[in-house]
Structure 1
């Protein structure tokens, strides 16, 4: 950032972020097994599932039949008194079972309710199966603990397959429910997780500011955002390089800063180049930055663009998710890409919690090339598509120039 004539927004390029983590001490296991314990299908951490340390989630081992629990629509919208909740689950016996439920369907905290009713482990079907092993409060590792895994729809479909079901069919059944229901599945699972003691480490956001040149617009802020770290190594030592997720986003950010310096571009609005730490964490460096509003409080945030996975081989163009705000920024990106013959599809979903925050008045966007699954061990620089990365950078650069310079768009 310094070499591209950016300035540290608060006198320092680095913002400290302290996080506390409980990491797997050995490779976790989630597999389907037969009655003798032989593995029929093994799932992969970070691709199919991730561990959760929320509430009673923690170290433990379970091998048991899988029971699906489903609820009427909107069952997760009401938080009721404990006595009312207990009465509503009268007759629900989960002893000796591994419980599976849909995160979007179950009442809040049903993992704890499952434990109370005898479950040995919990599988939560969700669109965000990243590990949740960050210690956020004193509620961490409430006793007793049990293994709680967040699993993808694809993993859930594999578990449901033996019962002639899939997640889509389960959702159809949920739509007609008036009371909770239990389905004992033709599946037996093994879950195993051993966590290290919690450890506090210091991470660093890296921030660079380009001040706006227009006195009337300089207090409006455009944020170009990405996370710069990744998973590092799997518990078994496998290196997870993170070339596309998310060195590609960092590369695009730096290239835009370099081009602006080379072309002596001076925006009217102020522009913050933000590389966040802890991109995979529920409470990341971006969350810490937002919650300490000394810098942000002096600006009106006009637009935010989150960059992620911009150089993959798959996909025919940009995929854009409007996270919040007006449509102005989305329309601007579509028009900018069209001028460069780069296709744009609206879709995708945030894979990192920070991509759901930082609200821009004209819009907050998540931009990827295609919508690839995490590549993990194969996410190497050799698998980056330079043409895709270049097209993404050009479209985002043109969008950012307009968003930072034009009074209206």
Structure 2
């Protein structure tokens, strides 16, 4: 009976204290992080470093202890590629410009594009696969020497020779094209999808060495239509043909383009995670920890002409982590367990910041009770709590807290981590991936701006994360063995 009364009091207290969190404060932080001044916060860039200094200063103001007692920064090195002017893509004929395309609307560069000023005929090479191992070669019947290759950005959704082709990221596909003699590559989304993807900024690149002299672009479907105009085919027809027959069909398009890009590549560039710690107060539990984190980075800018604000992805999650820390600190809330507040770099290039922290934890991993990850929490219509199939007790704790208040959580869940939670899930730490439903309308787009966010939902999801963290930090959750 006494335990039930105590739990009820703790729940009531956490609800009252969560009212400290206001959408105005959340949005103010997002406004700055998504501003043009920070140039899209590409990990390793000046804009990202400005954002990191700002957030570290906020951690200091609210009294979080620095990472390992020295600095809020955990430093590590990443690959870095900055896309500078000039940048252009034109359809040409007999050296004359037929049509100029607009960066950010008609096309974008892949984040790890190489540099180049090249002109050439365009050849369609299906999925851009050439593999003796799986017996599939989009290049077998065509010569792409000194030409520009157009390929689908994604892999086939069917298996080739009962195997899943794994080399589907831009760098491996670009290497195949380059090895075949091509001068550059154009990626395009599937035209037959119900909602085909527009070109988006992305710094995911895949394995292998950087080709610094090989341009990589992602073009919109209407640009592909222009390129196909003289071929006797449409892109949609060829996708249907290849997918139905499950064999290559590559053609010369009888069109030419001129592309220009200036990319400055660095094999290693320093970046930082930002880490602050709120010590616990209980003699028995203060050496147990909860991590709450969000990635601060986004996908940067291109050619000084466009930048990707990343308001939802993930200025929203970063602002939420800051406001939760502020709610604990400025209300002088004492928790039994200690809390590690973390902002990650280089999520966009493959969870690199989260992986680095998981590999270099400031405490024993067995002392970490749970990890809460906040990613894209400002846009949408409801709340999703991911990883419930791997950590059902943790998921149910958060789900019940939502039922007591906003009732915004949908039941969908999954296992295996999710975004920056993944590296922690892989080392046995129970994780909760907190995200809004329908969160990706403006994913990696120049339109991911503060005005697209839903302040009411943003506030509620942040309050739910606070309440969940409060309960865990006060001993109302026992670390569980994750289910794979």
Contact 2:384 2:409 in 1 (8 A): yes
CA distance in 2 between counterparts of 1:87 and 1:370 reads: 37
Out of 182, 185, 195, the position equivalent to 1:119 is 182
Determine if the alignment matches structure 1 residue 11 to structure 2 residue 69: yes
Q: Secondary structure at the match of 2:462?
A: helix
Pick from 261, 266, 270: which aligns with 1:193? 261
Q: Which residue of 1 aligns with 2:224?
A: 159
Q: What is the deviation of 1:367? A: 1.6
Q: For 2:116, which of 40, 59, 71 is the aligned residue?
A: 59
Q: Which residue of 1 aligns with 2:476?
A: 406
User: How far has the Cα of 1:251 moved from its partner?
Assistant: 2.1
Verify: 1:286 aligned to 2:354, yes or no. Answer: yes
Q: Trace 1:165-314 onto structure 2 (pairs within 5 A).
A: 165-166=235-236, 170=239, 173-174=242-243, 176-177=245-246, 179-184=247-252, 190-196=258-264, 198=266, 201-213=269-281, 218=286, 220-231=288-299, 233-238=301-306, 241-282=309-350, 284-291=352-359, 293-312=360-379
In 2: Cα distance, 1:332 partner to 1:255 partner: 21
Counterparts of 1:248 and 1:257 in 2: how far apart (Å)?
A: 14
Query: 1 CA distance for matches of 2:398 and 2:367?
Result: 21
* TM-score, with structure 1 as normaliser: 0.73
Question: Deviation string for 1:39-93 (max 9, x for gaps)?
Answer: 2754527x95442548xx443534432404248xxx89x995xxx9899965453
Three-state SS of the structure 2 residue aligned to 1:10 is coil
Partner of 2:83: 24
CA distance in 1, matches of 2:433, 2:445: 24
Q: How many Å separate the matches in 1 of 2:265 and 2:125?
A: 32
Aligned to 1:140: 210
Structure 1 spans left out of the alignment, 5+ residues: none
- Is 1:98–1:122's contact at 8 Å kept on the other side of the alignment? yes
- The residue aligned with 1:100 is 151
Deviation at 1:273, TM superposition (A): 0.5
Establish whether residue 386 from structure 1 lines up as the match of residue 455 from structure 2. yes
TM-score normalised by L of structure 2: 0.63
Structure number with greater Rg is 2
Q: Note the aligned Cα RMSD (angstroms).
A: 4.4
SS in 2 for 1:344: coil
Distance 2:139 2:443 in 1: 38
Aligned to 2:424: 358
Counterparts of 1:94 and 1:112 in 2: how far apart (Å)?
A: 13
